[in-house]
Structure 1
Amino acid sequence: MSVLKGSQNVTICNANGLKLAARLELPDIPPRGMAMIAPAFGCTKEILIASRTARRLLQYGIGSLRLDFTGIGQSEGDFSMTNLDTQVEDFVSAADWLRQHVAAPNILIGHSFGGLVALNACHSIPESRACVTIATPESPAHVLEIIGEDKTREIMQGGATSIEVNRQPYVLRRQFADHARQFRLHDTMQRLRVPVLIMHSPRDEMVPMRHAHAIFETARHPKSLLAIEDADHMVSERPAAEFVASTIGLWGMRYLTDG
């Protein structure tokens, strides 16, 4: 176990040698487990649901690491050249760093698009014992539905378009659209060999509840589907966020090695 303690910013190099910014949270006692948190599409590690979950997990003796993916926040790289696979690679690089400096992660958590990252990273992180998705779409192609037909047409005809996520401007290229449309949820869920907790709000307008049902129906047992009452897609309301974080802590404890 590492001598690292408390809450601190760390830098992780991904497979391409790019420096990724991450936030490490460790309890005062040796952690009972380590979680990794993948933020939503285009969002930084400081998004409220990620930071609140990390802090609440400390109360269960669970440490965590959350990161800015390539080209987001304080991380190096070109966001327009990223897709689901590159974000999974970033996540696996972060797991490698944790394994070397603290302890391998055993709970993988993802919000929105980050849930797809967590699901797809599980088979590349052998120590993972549980996975949690929060407001996650059934396919990365749902991003194209969110940006709309006009923006998608710009991508397919012109090769790129400008978008805004959480008040931050980004460029989305055709490579993302082509890659997203090749995704098959069935393939991902058949590879998943750990229990999964699927959390979603019935009033999520950005990613409707049907996406959670699709993931649940495709997943193997053990699996759980839990409605987050009174939450928007970003789970920005404090009571809902605290409910999500506490539930993850309680549910995840049973799958930890010494739990």
Structure 2
Amino acid sequence: MQKLEVSFKNSDSKELKGVLELPTNTQPANFILFAHCFTCNKNFHAPSNISKSLASKGYGILRFDFTGLGDSEGEFEDTNFSSNVDDLLAAAEFLEREYKAPSMIIGHSLGGAAALFASKKLESVKCMVTINAPSNLSHVQKHFESSLEEIEKEGFANIKIGGRSFKIKKQFINDLKKNQDASALKDIKKSLLIMHSPQDEIVSIDHAEELYKAAWHPKSFVSLDGADHMLSTKADSEYVGTVISAWASKYIKEPKTPELETDHEVMANLGASGFTTQIIAGNHHLIADEPVKVGGSDLGPNPYELVSSGLAACTSMTIQMYARRKEWEISNVETHVSYSKKHAEDCENCENDMAKIDSFEREISIKGDLDKTQLERLMEIADKCPVHKTLSSKAQIITKLID
């Protein structure tokens, strides 16, 4: 997966830091917005694992730190549930401005409640997912119930949550009371997936039942049996990502792309923008691209890296093929290749390209029970690689225009 660090401003001009997970081999057709749990941040294991799982299925997913948490600006003590919702709306605006408006929103714990509230104002969102989320905000007060009197009297209290200290102000409590019905589902007619663990000791599964009762169809429930509230086990969070992807495929449609066909061995197809190129090579589909610094998206190797890959693969195959014929035992062959010229420089000076010398630096590691004579012979065989011969000789390229 491709991981990009991003930042954007919220409604109070505070800079919020996020991570955008993207698939490595394609441009995502759909984007997802992820809301982390109360006092958590984007780097917790659950949001990270879920994001990577969804990115591997072709989605782009943005997770970020709410104001005053993680790497984002602001003070946590000045935030509340409403400000979390506003931060989600700012994140959605960022996605729409820079990429594409989110078609799904996911929220973990209190982030689930915030996601439901935010989805009411996000027309692009077709699917909503809650993970171990409360059905009402009064549940949140349990974290600092013993300090409510102090908060009322002093205006604030320092609360220990998950071993960390947070200052909770009276305005936070007042905001919770103002937004008691955290489900907000009576006004939302969007597809909903409720995921909850029966063993959740922080937010009981009764909350999932209340959310389900309040929601419109289509709605689904998946039991996260054996998981804890934080989804601290990697397998649990990866499972969540896999299930969400399968469930969402019914409600979020991938745009149909034309089937690529060719009578040749290889075909490369590039659209009107960018450099992300779809390739058919025999029975296989590949992606080629250019680095970001020269205007690409870096979703695949550049053309010269593909050429170097062909040389490296052919070299390893040729050595191993010869060794097997000789019945020499080789446990592993590694071929490392670097190309001396930068592709971007070639494009800038294409007219002078004939004056340049193409140079491939190749290093080979051969593991096995071999003596010096055998190793020397295998290094000679490396030069017999067919791709090596092609690159070393003058090739002929015949080009014609077709419809």
Query: TM-score scaled by structure 2?
Result: 0.61
Q: How does 1:48-87 map to 2 (within 5 A)?
A: 48-87=45-84
Match of 2:207, as an amino acid? Answer: H
Q: Secondary structure at the match of 2:221?
A: strand
Partner residue of 1:9 out of 5, 9, 13: 5
State how far apart, in whole Å, the 2-side matches of 1:68 and 1:135 are: 19
Q: Structure 2: which 5+ runs fail to align?
A: 256-403
State how far apart, in whole Å, the 2-side matches of 1:40 and 1:152 are: 21
Match of 1:92, as an amino acid? Answer: L
Question: Following TM superposition, by how much is the alpha carbon of 1:143 offset from its aligned partner in structure 2, in angstroms?
Answer: 1.5
Question: Following TM superposition, by how much is the alpha carbon of 1:184 offset from its aligned partner in structure 2, in angstroms?
Answer: 3.9
Could you tell which deviates more after superposition, 166-175 or 189-198? 166-175
Partner residue of 2:239 out of 228, 237, 243: 243
Say what the alpha-carbon RMSD is for the aligned residues. Answer: 1.5
Match of 1:15, as an amino acid? Answer: S
Q: Structure 1: which 5+ runs fail to align?
A: none
Give yes or no for contact 1:118–1:131 (8 Å, CA) kept in 2.
yes
Partner residue of 2:140 out of 136, 140, 143: 143
Partner residue of 1:131 out of 128, 131, 140: 128
Match of 2:132, as an amino acid? Answer: A
Partner residue of 1:206 out of 202, 217, 223: 202
Q: CA deviation digits over 1:149-208, x for unaligned, max 9?
A: 322222122211112334432111111111112224287112212111011110111111
Question: Following TM superposition, by how much is the alpha carbon of 1:213 offset from its aligned partner in structure 2, in angstroms?
Answer: 0.7
State how far apart, in whole Å, the 1-side matches of 2:149 and 2:140 are: 13
Match of 1:193, as an amino acid? Answer: K
Q: CA deviation digits over 1:214-242, x for unaligned, max 9?
A: 11111111111211011111011122112
State how far apart, in whole Å, the 2-side matches of 1:185 and 1:161 are: 25
Q: Which residue of 1 aligns with 2:39?
A: 42
Q: Which residue of 2 aligns with 1:23?
A: 19
Return closer, same or farther for 1:187/1:26 CA change in 2, 3 Å cut-off.
Answer: closer
Could you tell which deviates more after superposition, 131-140 or 151-160? 151-160
Could you tell which deviates more after superposition, 39-48 or 24-33? 24-33
Q: Secondary structure at the match of 1:97?
A: helix
Q: CA deviation digits over 1:40-84, x for unaligned, max 9?
A: 001110111100010000121011000100000111112112111
Query: TM-score scaled by structure 1?
Result: 0.94
Q: Secondary structure at the match of 1:180?
A: helix
**Which of structures 1 and 2 has the larger relative contact order (alpha carbons within 8 angstroms, sep 6+)?**
1
